[in-house]
């Protein structure tokens, strides 16, 4: 799941904040809204992130946060990379 550069970027962003909204993640990654939506859905389906959608005043907002499963997957991915680079 995290071998895809865009998803790894999303998870990396969420590591450093408690939660981030869609606009912030889109700006940080440079992805289009449609592309970001697809990757957020895949991460959410895998249980790596929690996505909360709500109306803030009159504007819809999407806020994401990393789950414990997502953190464990990221740590495992980094460890696998370290092992690979030792070879």
Q: What CATH number is attached to the domain comprising 46?
A: 1.10.10.10
Q: Can you give the pLDDT at residue 14?
A: 98
The predicted structure's pLDDT at residue 21:
97
pTM, two decimal places: 0.91
Rounded distance between C-alpha atoms, residue 41 and residue 34, angstroms: 11
Reported confidence tier of residue 87, pLDDT bands at 50, 70, 90 = low
**pLDDT tens digits for 16-73?**
999 999 999 999 999 999 999 999 999 999 999 999 999 999 999 999 999 999 999 9
Beta partners for 74? Answer: none
Domains of the chain: total = 1
Q: The domain containing residue 37 runs over which residues? A: 5-86
Overall size of the chain counted in residues: 87
């Amino acid at each position: 799941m995290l071998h895809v550069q865009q998803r790894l970027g999303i998870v990396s962003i969420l590591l450093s904040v408690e939660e981030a909204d869609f606009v912030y993640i889109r700006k940080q990654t440079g992805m289009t809204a449609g592309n970001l939506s697809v990757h957020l859905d895949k991460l959410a389906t895998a249980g790596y992130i929690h996505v909360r959608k709500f109306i803030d005043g009159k504007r819809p907002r999407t806020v994401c946060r990393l789950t414990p499963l997502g953190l464990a997957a990221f740590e495992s991915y980094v460890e696998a990379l370290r092992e690979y680079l030792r070879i």
